[in-house]
Structure 1
Amino acid sequence: MAQETAFTPDIKFIRELKAAGADTMKKCYQCATCSVVCPLSPDDRPFPRKEMVMAQWGLKDELLKSADIWLCHNCNDCSKYCPRGARPGDVLAILRKSVIQENAFPRIMGKIVGDPKNIWQAMAIPVLFFLVILGITGHLNFPEGEIVFSKFFPVHYIDMIFVPLSALAVLMFAVSMSRFWKNISAESGNKLPKGDFLPSFMETLKEIMLHSKFRKCDENKDRGIAHVLVFYGFIGLAITTAWAVFYLYGLKWESPYPLDDPDILALLGGSTTMVWIARTIFKLVANISAISLLAGGVLIIKNRLKERGFETSTSSFDWIFVGIVLLVGLSGFLAQVMRMMNFPPVIAYSTYFIHLVLVFYIIIYMPYSKLAHFVYRTVAITYTKMMKRDVEM
Structure 2
Amino acid sequence: MAEETVIKSDLQFVKRLQEYGGESLKKCFQCATCSVVCNISPDDSPYPRKEMIMAQWGLKDQIYKDPDIWLCHYCGDCTAYCPRGANPGEVIGAMRQATIEHYSTPSFLARLVSQPKFLPLLIAFPVLLILAIMKLVGTLGNIPAGKVVYSNMLPLLVIDAIFLSAAGFAVFVFLNGIRTYWKDLNSGVSPWKAKLSNKSVVSTLIEVLKEFIVHKHFKKCVTHYARATSHLMLVLGFISLATVTAWSAYYEWASRFGLIPHKESPFSLTEPIKWLALVGTVLLLSGIYLIYRERQNKANSASFGGYFDWLLIWVIIAVGFTGALSWLLRLANLASLAYPMYFLHLVSVFFLFFYAPYTKMAHMVYRTTALVFTKMQGRELA
TM-score (norm 2): 0.93
Task: Deviation per CA, 1:239-260: give whole Å up to 9, x if none.
Answer: 00011111211233221256xx
SS of residue in 1 equivalent to 2:22? coil
Please give the alpha-carbon distance, in whole angstroms, between the structure 2 residues aligned to 1:20 and 1:357: 26
Please give the alpha-carbon distance, in whole angstroms, between the structure 2 residues aligned to 1:9 and 1:119: 32
Please give the alpha-carbon distance, in whole angstroms, between the structure 1 residues aligned to 2:315 and 2:166: 19
Out of 216, 222, 226, the residue aligned to residue 226 of structure 2 is: 222
Q: CA deviation at 1:165?
A: 3.2
Letter in 2 for 1:309: N
1:332 corresponds to: 323
SS of residue in 2 equivalent to 1:221? coil
Matches within 5 A, 1:192-211: 193=195, 194-195=197-198, 196-211=200-215
Letter in 2 for 1:31: C
RMSD of the TM alignment (CA)? 1.6
Contact 2:35-2:47 at 8 Å conserved across structures: yes
1:262 corresponds to: none
Please give the alpha-carbon distance, in whole angstroms, between the structure 2 residues aligned to 1:189 and 1:350: 56
Out of 364, 367, 378, the residue aligned to residue 357 of structure 2 is: 367
1:316 corresponds to: 307
Please give the alpha-carbon distance, in whole angstroms, between the structure 1 residues aligned to 2:354 and 2:336: 26
Contact 1:38-1:77 at 8 Å conserved across structures: yes
Name which of structure 1's ranges 18-27 and 63-72 shifts more when overlaid on structure 2.
18-27
2:90 paired with 1:90: yes
Letter in 1 for 2:348: L
2:147 paired with 1:146: yes
Please give the alpha-carbon distance, in whole angstroms, between the structure 2 residues aligned to 1:309 and 1:143: 52
Out of 238, 243, 248, the residue aligned to residue 242 of structure 2 is: 238
Q: CA deviation at 1:362?
A: 1.4
Matches within 5 A, 1:56-67: 56-67=56-67
1:171 corresponds to: 172
2:376 corresponds to: 386
Letter in 2 for 1:38: C
2:279 corresponds to: 288
Q: CA deviation at 1:230?
A: 1.0
Letter in 2 for 1:248: E
Please give the alpha-carbon distance, in whole angstroms, between the structure 2 residues aligned to 1:234 and 1:165: 17
Task: Deviation per CA, 1:202-224: give whole Å up to 9, x if none.
Answer: 11111101101111112321111
Letter in 2 for 1:239: T
Matches within 5 A, 1:117-156: 117-141=117-141, 142-156=143-157
SS of residue in 1 equivalent to 2:319? helix
Q: CA deviation at 1:172?
A: 2.0
Name which of structure 1's ranges 5-14 and 329-338 shifts more when overlaid on structure 2.
5-14
Contact 1:90-1:313 at 8 Å conserved across structures: no
Please give the alpha-carbon distance, in whole angstroms, between the structure 2 residues aligned to 1:362 and 1:287: 20
Please give the alpha-carbon distance, in whole angstroms, between the structure 1 residues aligned to 2:23 and 2:166: 37
Please give the alpha-carbon distance, in whole angstroms, between the structure 2 residues aligned to 1:59 and 1:346: 55
Q: CA deviation at 1:5?
A: 2.6
Contact 1:94-1:315 at 8 Å conserved across structures: no
Mind listing any 5+ residue stretches in structure 1 that lack a counterpart? Answer: 259-275
Letter in 2 for 1:5: T
SS of residue in 2 equivalent to 1:31? coil
Letter in 2 for 1:151: N
Please give the alpha-carbon distance, in whole angstroms, between the structure 1 residues aligned to 2:300 and 2:112: 32
Please give the alpha-carbon distance, in whole angstroms, between the structure 2 residues aligned to 1:310 and 1:192: 39
Contact 1:17-1:23 at 8 Å conserved across structures: yes
Contact 1:40-1:213 at 8 Å conserved across structures: yes
Q: CA deviation at 1:145?
A: 1.5
Please give the alpha-carbon distance, in whole angstroms, between the structure 2 residues aligned to 1:143 and 1:50: 63
Out of 241, 264, 279, the residue aligned to residue 254 of structure 1 is: 264
1:70 corresponds to: 70
Q: CA deviation at 1:198?
A: 2.0
Contact 2:20-2:97 at 8 Å conserved across structures: no
Mind listing any 5+ residue stretches in structure 2 that lack a counterpart? Answer: 256-261
Contact 1:101-1:111 at 8 Å conserved across structures: yes
Percent of residue pairs bearing the same amino acid type: 40
Letter in 1 for 2:83: P
Please give the alpha-carbon distance, in whole angstroms, between the structure 2 residues aligned to 1:300 and 1:20: 21
Please give the alpha-carbon distance, in whole angstroms, between the structure 2 residues aligned to 1:236 and 1:64: 33
Letter in 2 for 1:147: V
Letter in 1 for 2:293: K
2:12 corresponds to: 12
Contact 1:78-1:88 at 8 Å conserved across structures: yes
Change beyond 3 A, Cα 1:143–1:201: same
Contact 1:76-1:220 at 8 Å conserved across structures: yes
2:183 corresponds to: 182
Q: CA deviation at 1:313?
A: 3.0
Please give the alpha-carbon distance, in whole angstroms, between the structure 1 residues aligned to 2:82 and 2:194: 37
Q: CA deviation at 1:4?
A: 4.1
1:273 corresponds to: none
Contact 2:113-2:359 at 8 Å conserved across structures: yes
Q: CA deviation at 1:19?
A: 1.3
Q: Kindly report structure 1 stretches of 4+ aligned residues shifted beyond 6 Å.
A: none
Please give the alpha-carbon distance, in whole angstroms, between the structure 2 residues aligned to 1:8 and 1:126: 41
Q: CA deviation at 1:84?
A: 0.9
2:101 paired with 1:110: no
Please give the alpha-carbon distance, in whole angstroms, between the structure 2 residues aligned to 1:244 and 1:115: 36
